[in-house]
Amino acid sequence: MHHPYHAFDSVTRFVREAAVDPAVLAIKMTLYRVSPASPIAQALRTAVENGKEVTVLVELQARFDEEANIGWARAFEQVGAHVVSGLPGFKTHCKACLVVRQEVDGVRLYCHLATYNARTGGIYGDLGLFTSRGSFGEDVNELFSHLNGRTRPPHFHHLLVAPADLRSGLVERIRREADHARAGRPARIIAKMNRLVDRRLIEELYAASGAGVKIDLIVRGSCCLRPEVPGLSDNIRVISIVDRYLEHARIVHFDNAGQPDCLLASADWMPRNLDRRVEIAFPVLDPDLQSRIREILVIQLADTVKARRILANGRSVRVRADAGTALRAQERLYDEAGEGMAGPSVLSLTLLYNA
């Protein structure tokens, strides 16, 4: 799902239908920002009232939303939900939902990984993944056990989790791309985030640039990397897009010598996200979805209306197009979405290929 071009109602429907589906046994969910009238929080309370096992991690230190979150945590406890506070000393910023459903052939796990704020879902650009792939379900279930303090950081099939291994997972992939470039294989990194501040990752990008990796970055806010500096970042280009929708998605696409590796994440590349928060990054495994995400990035890199190019001296200039060739990325993405997608429900997910 690509919000807000696809309706955020797909996410709220997913939780609402799970709350009233007799075959659903349990729902586990993290909530970072919870509005006072959150339809998702209300659906979770309904699920408890319907006898389902509900585990909710409510982040009580979400800046500006502390009061609403505390109120919802108390409301969940009052109706009998299991409220989790997360790992001591770490703010939980990852967004994950797990639905456990009894089906004819056994128990099946359905996941959604992305944002859960209906208020921002209509104005923030973000990507979310629905999947019923068993290995993803196992990962998300293990994640909740870890956040509940029941297990040490486990080994995941797919997830990279901060502060344990998200940074090292990114470093490994950047270095792998540099190895491809040195060996003469196709090597490219396209990364999109809100802020790029982490010194170690910046240095890894400089090293990859020196190895010949072509790197395109889309950074909406703070960027401490200096692009296009001769001998340092010759192969790095940085743009920022400020338009009607807040660019909020975190995406990293590695060409990986023709075997694409595409990650979606909850974290910006900042020390606070990588070292002092619980964040996740997860791969998109379906080739068609990988191609679509790369198309989204390429469209944004081609923006000549709302994009600014960051220069080596830290200043920015508007990206201009030749006459008749202007492209406004958000407008193009909106047109391509058409009427959007109604979004899957718990029942319709049973018919999906394990994407």
The residues carrying an active-site annotation are 93
- The DSSP 8-state label assigned to residue 236 in this structure reads E
> What three-state secondary structure class fits 316?
strand
Two tokens, residue 184: 């003469």
- DSSP bridge partners of 318: 308
175, 204 Cβ separation under 8 angstroms:
yes
Q: Quote the CA–CA distance of 265 and 255 in Å, as a whole number.
A: 17
Q: Quote the CA–CA distance of 329 and 38 in Å, as a whole number.
A: 30
172, 206 Cβ separation under 8 angstroms:
no
Two tokens, residue 188: 């490219």
> What three-state secondary structure class fits 189?
strand
Instruction: Count other C-beta atoms under 10 Å from residue 236's C-beta.
Output: 24
